[in-house]
Amino acid sequence: MNPSKADASLEVPPLLRVHKDGALERIAGTQVVPSGFDPQTGVLSKDKVFKPETGLSVRLYRLNKESSGHEKLPIVIYFHGGAFCVSSVFDPDYHKSLNTLVAEANIILISVNYRLAPEHPLPTAYEDCWAGLKCLNSQVAGNHDVEPWLKDKGDFERVYLVGDGAGANIAHHLAMRARNNSDFNLVKLAGIGLVNPYFWGEKPIGVEVTDPIRKAMVDKWWNFVYPCDKGCDDLLIHPFVDGAPSFANLACHKILVIVAEKDILRDRGKHYYENLVNSEWKGTADIFEIEGEDHAFHIFDPDCQKAKSLIKRLASFINQ
């Protein structure tokens, strides 16, 4: 047996383990890569702290070329995945994927480095990402360390929230919170893009019924990052639970849901889409399924043809 495993009091595979002495060992999402110029895509990135008291930061991306005339570019605020407990904006896989998205879509992208559970239990991640939206709002007002990339080329009338996995979950909840909220009233939220969204529930649906082992694994992920009385029927992970607020509260007019055929979360993404289009929300929604692939495949293998198709679909959604 691996000595590290033998010393573990809790494992949350394949993400992390907690040792008997309380030490936390992350198995995935620990590598980091610096910002800078990427010669393969022509994208430039830089890191910026936006909340010094907590150390919250973002990584900003844009093409390293001047756009024509006074053209303004869509602004995408991106939330990375990792089940709320692993990865960061400095992860090489995310960095490469986002360079590709920025090059394809010609956007300004802000990737938010929210704090992770269990050191920072939920709902910390949501609050950190909301702080990022408030910071963007203050950019328009010109009262918070105005970022030149945003001031010169950012289109505050075309702001998108995009994320994968846990990040897609965050994007949904922030879009619900943004409607009629004075902390986010100077920009226009045009849409949200949810890639392999991390929604769940106690009662299995779809493929979860025939795959109880993976169902139990995802149950364990959620109960680790947010142990609460409602378990996987908490509103944060189950947006259709009894008593959930109406989707009419979504502060955007279009939504794209992307799922992968082999992903244990696939049917939850489809369930989200079906509930959305049958709700009181008045926007337009679309769903796109990638055949033969599993969760976050486009992050781990961004050069494969299906990952390129996913990025092109997301870029098209942003630029419609």
Could you report the per-residue pLDDT of 187-245, keeping only the tens digit for each?
999 999 999 999 999 999 999 999 999 999 999 999 999 999 999 999 999 999 999 99
State the burial class of residue 82 (Cβ atoms within 10 Å of its Cβ: 0-12, 13-18, 19+): buried
pTM, whole model, 2 decimals?
0.95
Contacts of 302 (CB under 8 A, 6+ apart): 93, 96, 97, 100, 308, 311
Residue written as tokens 């944060």? 236
Tokens 């870029």 locate to: 315
The top-scoring range by mean pLDDT among 12-26, 98-112, 128-142 is 98-112
**Could you tell me where the DSSP H helices lie in the chain?**
3-6, 92-105, 124-141, 148-153, 166-178, 207-210, 212-225, 266-277, 297-300, 305-319
CATH 3.40.50.1820 corresponds to the domain 33-319: yes
- Name the helix (H) or strand (E) containing 33: none
What SS3 state is found at 161?
A: strand
Q: What per-residue confidence (pLDDT) applies to 142?
A: 80
pLDDT-derived band at 3, boundaries 50, 70, 90? very low
Rounded Cα distance between 39 and 198, Å, is 33
Omega of the bond prior to 123 within 30 degrees of 0, cis?
A: yes
Asked if residue 164 has pLDDT above 50, the reply is: yes
- Window from 5-19, 150-164, 285-299 with minimum mean pLDDT: 5-19
pLDDT of residue 4: 56
Taking Cα atoms as reference points, which of 49, 80, 48 lies closest to residue 61? 48
**pLDDT for 28-60, tens place per residue?**
999 999 999 999 999 999 999 999 999 999 999
Please tell me the predicted confidence (pLDDT) of residue 9.
73
Query: Mean of the pLDDT values across residues 150-171?
Result: 96
Tokens of 199: 């929604």
| H, E, C per residue of 206-233 | CHHHHCHHHHHHHHHHHHHHCCCCCHHH
**Dihedral pair phi/psi, residue 78, rounded to 5°:** -110, 140
User: Which pLDDT tens digit goes with each residue over 203-216?
Assistant: 999 999 999 999 99
Looking at every residue in the chain, the average pLDDT score rounds to 94
Q: What is the mean pLDDT of residues 10-24?
A: 89
pLDDT at residue 259 above 90?
yes
| Delimiting residues of CATH 3.40.50.1820 domain(s) in the chain | 33-319
63-89 tens-digit pLDDT: 998 665 678 999 999 999 999 999 999
pLDDT of residue 7: 62
In this model, does residue 1 exceed pLDDT 50? no
Going by their DSSP bridges, the two strands 43-51 and 24-26 should be labelled as: unpaired
Q: β-pairing, 189-195 with 154-164?
A: parallel
